[in-house]
Amino acid sequence: MTAADWRPTASVATLRARALMLGRIRAHFAEERVVEVETPQLSSAAVTDVHLASIPARVEGVGAVFLHTSPEYAMKRLLAAGLGDCYQVCRVFRDGERGRLHNPEFTMVEWYRAGLGADALMDDVETLLGRALAGVRRLEKAERCTYRNAVQRHAGVDPMLADDEALRTALQEHGIAIPGQQTRDGLLDLLVSAVVGPRLGRQRPAFIVDYPASQAALARVRPGQGEFPVADRFELYLDGVELANGFHELADAEEQRARFESDLAERRRRGLPTPPLDQRFLASLEHGLPDCSGVALGFDRLVMVALGLDSLEAAMAFTIDRA
């Protein structure tokens, strides 16, 4: 620690611009009649995704709890209860995430629209971005590209047909080290994060759609244009940075439980913690989740790319190093 450590990592001008952007986002949702909600940041359950790590805590009289990595499960419970379109601006927490584009605590804007598919939600995301960045940065109309085409174009390999060895070769040809034992999806994730993603959204925003079905997470799976089923989800990139992740939400409780159990099995195989499942969330799916799509937007990253900043710390008041 030094004498200057009390100062914010972002400039005062950036913090003012950030506040204006957040105000425009709230104004957008107010105009669209989307209800702002608040849900707990502490939960008795934790995320099962092998690529995410929850931060544990303990509450006297309650026991072990976890800081949420996303408000998704709680917001879907509100949807199942009949609330309708809703959004939330909140702090979320992910262990082990530090770097130019990561901080273990960050701001997420997450929203759900009933009756919309992923295509319509992408239109909604574009509208929100245009309003949020008014007077800051003008964006061209976003392109929409399939995951398969994006990987073929920028990494030179077909992600649907290539075997694991071909994926490893593609990574090596791009100078990417392969850590430890990787599953097929692990190799694909590394290829996208290290090779493909940094090349996306350079001229205009880019939505990547039709992910492999094995990467559906909490999204529905539907037939693709070829012989391969695809996840009904998208990611948004701008200036080579992933900003948002959206799903046409899975409403099948039995299928969702099976995916969670599969995640836990993979966690056990890797020697990772196996947290308790969110039984209340699964019960809400059994009750009935309306047809809807949802998206999570990393607000700090949006500020960073909108203002042309070099790192996330320049877009946030204080990172973990100055907390």
Q: For residue range 162-209, what is the model confidence (pLDDT) as tens digits?
A: 999 999 999 999 999 998 778 899 999 999 999 999 999 999 999 999
Containing structural domain, residue 261: 3-142+204-322
Return the pLDDT at 181: 78
- In order, the DSSP letters of 150-219 are HHHHHHSS-TTT--HHHHHHHHHHTT----SS--HHHHHHHHIIIIIGGGTTSSS-EEEEEEEGGG-TTB
pLDDT tier for residue 3 given thresholds of 50, 70 and 90: low
Phi first, then psi, for residue 75 (nearest 5°) are -65, -35
Residue 179 lies in a domain: no
Q: What is the mean pLDDT of the chain?
A: 95
Closest CA to 256 of 49, 3, 40: 49
Q: Which helix (H) or strand (E) holds 281?
A: helix 279-288
- Interval 97-131: pLDDT, tens: 889 999 999 999 999 999 999 999 999 999 999 99
pLDDT, average across residues 144-158: 96
pTM to 2 decimal places: 0.95
CATH number at residue 15: 3.30.930.10
Residue 276 lies in a domain: yes
- Least confident segment among 23-32, 217-226, 254-263: 217-226
- Interval 36-54: pLDDT, tens: 999 999 999 999 999 899 9
Residue 176 lies in a domain: no
Q: What is the CA radius of gyration of the chain?
A: 20
Return the pLDDT at 147: 97
Phi first, then psi, for residue 33 (nearest 5°) are 60, 40
pLDDT, average across residues 268-276: 92
- Least confident segment among 31-35, 66-70, 184-188, 279-283: 184-188
Return the pLDDT at 318: 95
Return the pLDDT at 224: 78
Query: Per-residue pLDDT for 226 more than 80?
Result: no
Residue 236 lies in a domain: yes
Query: Per-residue pLDDT for 143 more than 90?
Result: yes
pLDDT tier for residue 5 given thresholds of 50, 70 and 90: confident
Return the pLDDT at 79: 98
Residue 166 lies in a domain: no
Residue 194 lies in a domain: no
Total count of domains within the chain: 1
Residues 289, 233, 197, 200: is their CA dihedral positive or negative?
Answer: negative
Residue 178 lies in a domain: no
- Interval 67-102: pLDDT, tens: 999 999 999 999 999 999 999 999 999 998 889 999
pLDDT tier for residue 1 given thresholds of 50, 70 and 90: low
Residue 169 lies in a domain: no
